[in-house]
Amino acid sequence: MSERLAYLPTLEDAYGELPPAQLEILRQQVLSEGGDIASIQSRFNYAWGLIKSNDVDNQRLGVKLLSDVYKEAPKRRRECLYYLTIGCYKMGEYTMAKRYIDALAERESSHNTQVFALKKMVESKIASQSLKGLALVSVVIGAAAYGINVYMRGSKKR
């Protein structure tokens, strides 16, 4: 139905770091066009290159640039949300990712599987993370309780 389907990245596309030289060229491209006023495409290129990198700080800058693109180009907003979701997901900012994908899914027709697949992934991730978190918290509480218990006993014995 749509030939542009493949035109969007999957989550896997966000991995695989670019060589530093390539990233540098992307950066120079943005700078040569005037930094904040560079064209949407070159800023996206740099942002996506940053997101692909393995350094969390670079990913953050990439997401920041993407959010700039989102703010400035209303026509690109829908795809930008998708990229933002992927970027945040990769960084582990699942709450942000969820926020973006929710906003996107709300307006996307239900047969857009790519978006909804990503949504599901984000949601399952959040679920597993929160479970782990809960487990961690309970373990900590349990340990604390045990510790206190031991301490109390010790003091009583004295």
Interacting residues with other proteins between 111 and 140 (CB under 8 A): 111-115, 117, 121, 125-126, 129-130, 132-134, 136-137
Distance between CA atoms of residues 59 and 129, nearest Å: 20
Whether 57 and 41 have beta carbons less than 8 Å apart is answered as no
Q: How far is the CB of 151 from other proteins (least distance, A)?
A: 25
* Helix %, strand %, coil % of the chain (to 5): 80, 0, 20
Q: How far is the CB of 144 from other proteins (least distance, A)?
A: 15
Based on the shown chain and the rule CB under 8 A, indicate whether residue 101 belongs to the binding site for other proteins. Answer: no
Closest CA to 69 of 107, 21, 91, 36: 36
- Of 81-89, 141-149, 150-158, which segment contacts other proteins by CB under 8 A? 81-89
Angle at the Cα of 107 (from 102 to 113), degrees rounded to 5?
75
Two tokens at 140?
A: 């900590």
Q: How many residues lie near other proteins (CB under 8 A)?
A: 90
Q: How far is the CB of 143 from other proteins (least distance, A)?
A: 14
Based on the shown chain and the rule CB under 8 A, indicate whether residue 104 belongs to the binding site for other proteins. Answer: yes
Site for other proteins in 4-43 (CB under 8 A): 4-13, 15-19, 21-22, 25-26, 30-31, 35-36, 39-41
Based on the shown chain and the rule CB under 8 A, indicate whether residue 58 belongs to the binding site for other proteins. Answer: yes
Distance between CA atoms of residues 50 and 26, nearest Å: 9
Whether 93 and 67 have beta carbons less than 8 Å apart is answered as no
* Nearer of residues 39 and 149 to other proteins, judged by Cβ: 39
